Amino acid sequence: MSISIRAIDLSCQFGQVHAVDRANFTVSVGDFVAVEGPSGSGKSTLLNLIGGLEPPTGGRVEVAGTELSTLDERERTTFRRRHIGMIFQLYDLLPTLNAWQNVAVPALLDGGKLKDLQASSTELLKRVGLQDRADHKPSELSGGEQQRVAIARALMNDPQLILADEPTGALDSVTGDDILGLLQSLCEDGRTVVMVTHAARAAAYATRSLRMLDGAVTEPAAV
Ligand SMILES: Nc1ncnc2c1ncn2[C@@H]1O[C@H](COP(=O)(O)OP(=O)(O)OP(=O)(O)O)[C@@H](O)[C@H]1O
Ligand SMILES: [Mg+2]
């Protein structure tokens, strides 16, 4: 099985805080990993390190064999846009664009034309159950609907790796199950998902879990 992520003594320190503390783990292509742990244990920082949004202060992490921290800013941004879909804890949609235009953003940044992207963006909104909100601006959407737009946007460039921070945090259980089923099907198709979650319900969809405590990462024995 090929390796999607390899972390070697991966560390990130903010002042005296060891947000991620010498983490060693590998994630294989097709894994659906749930990252669990208390608030402040380092989960979001770990995703930011994997996605190259935060440079490690020690050790290293490779995604598909590439160490993002060794790339220059431009190469890193391009790598991330083409290979990684990120779903953040805050959805950070662009307020002036409507739902389908927000979904199109990663492809726009890759040189696509807005008018050519309407069909594929709307199709992605359909996959998250939002086809009838395609023309709504973020301010005209509920929190859970904004979250689903952010999920559709993360899938726009068909990434091999999806990093999701509490992707179902704002969703009711039925909609959340739909999204988790969607992430599960992406893994079955050979993508990799790393998902931060507090919810046992969400973790049940994953094939593996990583636990974080005070920056340390451990993998509980499979049950
Ligand atoms: N930019 C930063 N500067 C200083 N400290 C930070 C920074 N980002 C995170 N931290 C600290 O690092 C630790 C880990 O934060 P992180 O956001 O990764 O936690 P988390 O597990 O995602 O928590 P939550 O479940 O509340 O989202 C926390 O103690 C936090 O205060
Ligand atoms: Mg967090």
Instruction: Quick: pLDDT tens for 14-27.
Output: 999 999 999 999 99
Q: Which of helix, strand or coil describes residue 159?
A: coil
Find the angle CA(116)-CA(122)-CA(123) to the nearest 5 degrees: 100
Give Dmax over CA atoms of the chain in angstroms. 49
Exposure string of 171-184, with b = 16+ CB inside 10 Å and e = fewer, is: beeebbebbbebbe
pLDDT exceeds cutoff 80 at 120: yes
What is the spatial distance between Cα 180 and Cα 204, in angstroms, rounded to a whole number? Answer: 10
* pLDDT above 70 for 145: yes
Tell which atom from ligand 1 comes closest to the C-alpha of 41: 21
Provide the pLDDT confidence category of residue 88 given band limits of 50, 70 and 90: confident
Does some domain include residue 39? yes
In a domain, 222, yes or no: no
In a domain, 223, yes or no: no
Judged by its nearest atom, the ligand closest to the C-alpha of residue 46 is 1
Model confidence, pTM = 0.93
Q: Which ligand lies nearest the alpha carbon of 20?
A: 1
- Give the mutation target among 44, 86, 195, 197 for probing the ligand 1 site: most ligand atoms within 8 A of CB: 44
Assess if residue 152 is contained within a domain. yes
Give me ligand 1 centre to Cα 197, in Å: 15
- Nearest-CA residue for atom 30 of ligand 1: 40
Rounded Cα gap, residues 61 and 23, in angstroms: 9
Domain count, the chain: 1
Judge whether 174 lies within some domain. Answer: yes
> What CATH number should be reported for the domain holding residue 182?
3.40.50.300
Residue 19 in contact with ligand 1 by CB distance below 6 A: yes
- % of the chain surpassing 70 pLDDT: 99
| Contact call for residues 144 and 93 (beta carbons, < 8 A) | no
Query: How many angstroms separate the CA atoms of 159 and 163, rounded?
Result: 10
Residue 90: pLDDT band by 50, 70, 90 thresholds? confident
Mean pLDDT of 140-152: 93
Atom of ligand 1 minimally distant from the CA of 212: 21
Q: What is the predicted pLDDT for the residue at 220?
A: 87
* Residue at 201 is within a domain: yes
Q: What are phi and psi of 204, to 5 degrees?
A: -65, -20
Q: Is residue 92 in a domain?
A: yes
pLDDT class of 170 with cuts at 50, 70, 90: confident
Contact present, 132 and 122 (Cβ < 8 Å): no
Kindly report the average pLDDT of the chain as a whole number: 94
Mean pLDDT, residues 55-77 taken together: 96
| 51: pLDDT strictly greater than 70 | yes
pLDDT band at 136 (very low <50, low <70, confident <90, very high): very high
**Which tens digit of pLDDT belongs to each residue from 188-220?**
999 999 999 988 888 899 999 999 999 999 998
**Alpha carbon 123 to its chain's center:** 20
Residue 1, pLDDT score: 55
* Sheet containing strand 216-218, strands side by side: 84-87, 161-165, 192-196, 32-36, 208-213, 216-218
Find the domain containing 213 and state its range: 3-217
Q: Which ligand is nearest to the CA of 36?
A: 1
